[in-house]
Chains A and B, each alone.
Chain A
Amino acid sequence: MATAAPVSTPTGSLIDAQALMGIRSLELRARSVVEGFISGMHRSPYHGFSVEFTEYRQYSPGDDPRYLDWRVVARSDRYFIKKYEDETNLRCHLLVDQSRSMDYGTRGHTKSAYAATLAATLAYFLHLQGDATGLLTFDDQMREFLPARHRSGHLRQLMHALERTPTGQSTDLGAPLDRMANLVRKRGMVAFISDFLAPLEQLEKKLLVLTACGHEVVVFQVLDPAELNLGLEQPAMFEDIESGRTLYLDPAAARAGYVQKLEAHCAGLRATCRKLGIGYHLLATDQPLELALFGFLQDRMKRGRQFRPGARAAGAGGGA
């Protein structure tokens, strides 16, 4: 699959996806990824950045004295308030597809397990940074919603919600985005994790709504390697996991057409994302998750540089 290799395969010190999925606890999985990632960060040329910068502002009358940084007052006898620490805290919502099409996998684990681990990894990482993380799972309808919080126990609740088995008969990509736009008024970040194996007609409009609300959106398309190149050999009756529709298929004959159509689909999605300034990451389930995290942060850094002024301006307006 030549289309989307978001991150070039780096060193062999990363945890193999299959080995990682062998860990039963989702939290442990997420922690393994993040800790491996952080330990790798020291060698990274990009160390020293975070999701948001904290900043001090000189106290001016009218500001809430609660937010005065007393340590600075004690040190320098000057009044500063930690204005940005609170304001710039990221509110990240993870939109995780739990439709039944995610319950497919040929590498020992399913896409949904991979997606859940990815979501957990992001949540854990953000939690470590002190960011609030929320979760919205969906299939053909909304399943679970956890508002973004940074609280002890919240992460565990989130993990628990992620461990649910996919049940949905179909995937409605638009509805959760609508819901997101309605529920989350505050600007924040939305990580949209799905296989996007659904019609994309409405997607662009919904994503536009989200970006228009000021949300920063990142799209993770999780696909099984077998889905990328139709990696099946025997002619057989193929059964759609979601709808139960069956189809007689000889993979050898159908492969070329399939790959072409899938590439077109993915290219359409990518084009939409580019148009809306949304980060797009295609993840095959056999790729190490660190790479996804790495790509995600790298991408964000680039985009942070690109959009910083706007974002900063927007962020300043939403002070608590």
Chain B
Amino acid sequence: MNFLTPLFLLGGLALAAPIIFHLIRRTTRERVSFSSLMFLLPTPPRLSKRSRLEHLLLLLLRCLALLLLVLGFSRPFFKETPLLDPTAAQPTRTVVLLDVSASMRRAGVWAAAKERAEVVARRAGPADQVAIYTFDRTATPLLPFEEWCRTAAGDRVALATSRLSATAAGWGATQLGAALITAAEALTENDGKPTPGPREIVLVSDLQAGSRLDALQAYEWPKGVRLIVEAVKAKNPTNAGLQLVADSADASRAAASTVRVRVTNSADAQREQFKLSWARMGATGAVEMVEPTINIYVPPGQSRVVAMPVQKDARGLDRIVLQGDDEDFDNTVYVIPPTQQKIGVLWFGSESPEDARQSLFFLRRALAETPKLAVSVLARLPSAALLPGDIEAASVIFITEALSAPAAAALREQARAGKTLVFAPKSAAAGVTLGALVGVDGVAVTEAKPTNYAMLAEIDFKHPLFAPFSDPRFSDFTKIHFWRYRKFDPASLPDARVIAKFDSGDPAVTEITLGKGRLLVLAAGWQPEDSQLAVSSKFVPLLWSLLDLGGGTMGAPAQWLVGDTAPLPAGATEKEIRFTEPGIRDAKAGELSVRFAVNLDANESRTAPLSSDELERLGVPVSAPVETKTPSKEDKVLLQGIEAENRQKLWRWLIAATLAVLVIESALAGWAARKQSLKTEESPT
């Protein structure tokens, strides 16, 4: 038998106590006062053999109780030959989540992070499985589990090291929540085979406050997956950041003469004075600052918005640089002057653009020019010949009156090539053209006049046209009354899909797919004669939605961030462009050249450390980092002992036995005392 805490055996010395007490009890009895001892002589103590035996039993019981207690405390265990090395625990599945966001570019962070990740790979035993994921906006496997398992045990560390050294910190934002979910799912999906060992995620990150955790809110963290946070500290905790304050699309033109930027300073910053200036890429490849510089004062933990005047001779001036900060990864914003996008709309109709009772009047007013967008409405008479230039420039072609058959056929071809046609017949007579546009004969269009008025009832808000109104706050179309509309049977049209219906059940908006493009049939126009649509708040958004559908506006966000994907206009070699670093990106679309100013996510500038409580709050169990210490031989023996003791738990039985012995002892002592007192009571009589 071995003992885990043999020092407690010293407590065995306490066995002497009951023996001493018994001896003391025998020699010194109670004292009785007596008036005079002149007639008394000392008598030798008289002890009955029986009482001595009883006391001996009590003594033995007391000693036994103490002995058991001492043994219990010294945690005994029987040595057993360990089947496995206890230090070599069950195989662990580990996902190393390596932060490659822009904030990792701070001095000293990336090298330390890479080292930590390598340590995890090195620490892994032959049975352990390690996967390395890098994450910024998304998590990407750098070394998946399959590859780790496939590689020979000896080569794994080398593989991991080489992969890590080929990686560098990027420019992306930190979507920590999503990355953790990806890692947790990578751990839980296991080809259906249960893994007995622990599963853990080692998060190597600077844990900056700008990390987004919101994805975790709706995620139930899988049981048994623990998170070990290896936080990497930057050398300079202070960091000031520079972000572009986006102007709204309808900002006045006067404001376009300035560019507003926000300068934030971290709470623990030591510097407060910064300089802002425009800069350009010089001929030598170095950044040239351009006068004048603006001195700004930002106290720690605060932010300032500065309006930078746009330079008159701003040739090549494409960035604003913040100077005076320790960490310069977030000190540049790229600015390009806003360009106005031009969209063409072709209108086939005979109404006067100044006639306030006609639809063209409302169309022109609705598509007013903004600094970013100019829509030119080109009105043509229905009888006019189709000009290729007109059609080329138009994103959307509106038809309100009957066209000649060849014109309709030509337009159908255009639609098949990708154009969007909107057919909003003013009268049932124009309905003939509908068949011509679709390429089906005998489509009957009749005039419908509801007794009171008609309303839009069934609207497919999933369709891009109505998607902007899908929010319940905007989805109420019942205020728009339709006095009359054109009625047709959508079943007679191939590939027709009714997007909105009137309350009578007749189609109000129907989409007919034509090749690459589409034809939208509006059963009623927006002119006051037909409906109240033109004067409703839904009209302008609906028109812009139509233009979007026609691919006219590109739906560009206020500014592009690293990791965003921007669609390229038709004619480019690729459909979209993905930004991996901040800067000015040029893309060619045919003869058209598109420029994108790509900036860093503003959250990356928030480099104050994130509390791990935040993770705990979201239900992620965070453990302390594991010490990378190889156990010595003595430690191993000790660990084996602890293991065996934990398994056997002999101390519980010893404590139980102690209690039992104490119960017996109390009972016996009580019985003896009772017997003694009975004897003394009886003896005087």
**Partner-B contacts on A (CB < 8 A):** 101-102, 104, 111, 195, 197-199, 224, 227, 232-243, 245-250, 252-254, 257-258, 261-262, 265
Contacts and interface: CB of A to CB of B under 8 A. Distances in A.
Given A227-B35, A239-B33, A249 B40 contact: yes
Contacts of A247: 37, 40-42
The secondary structure that dominates the B interface is loop
B41 A101 contact: no
A222 to B, nearest CB: 11
Given A247-B37, A254-B40, A258-B40, A239 B31 contact: yes
B315 interface: no
A104 B39 contact: no
Give the contact-size bracket for chain B. Answer: 20 to 34
Contacts of A235: 29, 43, 45-46
B190 interface: no
11 contacts: A102-B35, A104-B33, A232-B34, A233-B683, A238-B31, A239-B31, A240-B35, A243-B37, A247-B41, A248-B42, A248-B45
Nearest to A261: B39
Contact of A237 (B30, B35, B44, B46): B30
B30 A233 contact: no
Contact of A246 (B31, B35, B41, B44): B31
B23 to A, nearest CB: 16
B46 A240 contact: no
Contacts of A111: 35
A202 to B, nearest CB: 15
B654 to A, nearest CB: 39
B556 interface: no
Most chain-A CB neighbours within 10 Å: which of B28, B39, B41, B46?
B39
Contacts of B194: none
A250 B45 contact: yes
Contact of A238 (B37, B45, B46, B683): B37
A240 B30 contact: no
Given A240-B35, A258-B40, 19 more contacts: A101-B35, A111-B35, A195-B35, A227-B35, A235-B43, A236-B30, A236-B32, A237-B28, A237-B32, A238-B31, A238-B34, A239-B33, A241-B36, A243-B37, A248-B42, A249-B43, A250-B43, A253-B43, A257-B39
Given A233-B684, A235-B46, A250-B46, A241 B41 contact: no
A238 B29 contact: no
Contacts of A257: 39, 41
Contacts of B38: 197-199
B32 A232 contact: yes
A248 B41 CA distance: 9
A104 B683 CA distance: 23
A104 B40 contact: no
Contact of A262 (B29, B39, B43): B39
B76 to A, nearest CB: 44
Interface in B535-560: none
B29 A248 contact: yes
B680 interface: yes
A254 B34 contact: no
Given A197-B36, A245-B37, A247-B37, A236 B29 contact: yes
A254 B41 contact: yes
A251 B43 CA distance: 9
A241 B32 CA distance: 10
A235 B45 CA distance: 8
Contacts of A232: 32, 34
Nearest to B30: A236
A248 B37 CA distance: 11
Contacts of B37: 238, 240, 243, 245, 247
A130 B684 CA distance: 48
Contacts of A101: 35-36
A235 B31 CA distance: 9
B34 A239 contact: yes
A130 B566 CA distance: 138
A241 B33 contact: yes
A235 B44 CA distance: 10
B35 A238 contact: no
A144 B611 CA distance: 91
A227 B33 CA distance: 12
Interface string B6-35: 000000000000000000000011111111
A258 B40 CA distance: 6
A237 B31 contact: yes
B9 to A, nearest CB: 39
B258 to A, nearest CB: 109
Contacts of B40: 238, 247, 249, 254, 258
Contacts of B46: 235, 250, 252-253
Contact of B32 (A239, A242, A253): A239
Contacts of B680: 233-234
Nearest to B681: A233
Between B35, B42, B683, the greatest number of chain A beta carbons within 10 A of the residue's beta carbon is seen for: B35
A252 B43 CA distance: 10
A104 B34 contact: yes
Nearest to A264: B39
Nearest to A105: B35
A97 to B, nearest CB: 11
Contacts of B31: 236-239, 246
Contacts of B32: 232, 234, 236-239
Interface string B670-685: 0000000000100110
B35 A241 contact: yes
A227 B44 CA distance: 21
A249 B35 contact: no
A269 B45 CA distance: 33
Contacts of A248: 29, 42-43, 45
B373 to A, nearest CB: 116
Nearest to B35: A104
Contacts of A254: 40-41, 43
Contacts of A243: 37
Nearest to B46: A250
A253 B40 CA distance: 11
A179 B121 CA distance: 112
Q: Which 8 A-B pairs have the closest CB atoms?
A: A104-B35, A261-B39, A197-B36, A236-B32, A101-B35, A240-B37, A237-B31, A250-B43
B660 to A, nearest CB: 33
Nearest to B37: A240
Nearest to A110: B35
Contacts of A233: 680, 683-684
Interface in B127-167: none
Nearest to A111: B35
Interface string B401-436: 000000000000000000000000000000000000
B569 to A, nearest CB: 117
A237 B29 CA distance: 6
A227 B37 CA distance: 10
Contact of B30 (A224, A234, A242, A250): A234
A264 B312 CA distance: 143
A150 to B, nearest CB: 35
Contacts of A242: 35-36
Most chain B CB within 10 A, of A111, A238, A258, A262, is at A238
